[in-house]
Amino acid sequence: MEELPIVRPNAIALGAESPNLGLVMDGTWHTFWSKSARSGDNNASVQLEIQGNVNSPVAQWWAESAEALAGCWTEAEPGA
């Protein structure tokens, strides 16, 4: 998650708009979260959540990660 590019919000009709907004009405939302992330010089506890639909940096990151982790998945329950 730390390596995902910074998101620049683009509210329709406000500011610069992309010629292709890439709107998807029925995609797959990817949500990643951490309830125990740390931030700042004092290592403060923060909650972090990032979401993205298809064609977003989050979706691309997950696709690459899922492919890289494919060999780690198994049908067997851990410790069974």
Q: What are the average pLDDT values for consecutive 10-residue runs of the chain, which has 80 residues?
A: 67 52 68 82 83 84 89 82
pTM above 0.85, yes or no: no
| DSSP code of residue 60 | H
CA 40-44-49 angle, to 5 degrees, is 90
Q: What is the pLDDT of residue 68?
A: 92
At 22 the three-state DSSP class reads coil
Token duo for residue 42: 């004092």
* HSE toward the beta carbon, residue 57, CA cutoff 13 A: 9
Q: What is the pLDDT of residue 20?
A: 55
Q: What is the pLDDT of residue 10?
A: 57
Q: How far apart are CA 58 and CA 52, in angstroms?
A: 5
Q: What is the pLDDT of residue 41?
A: 83
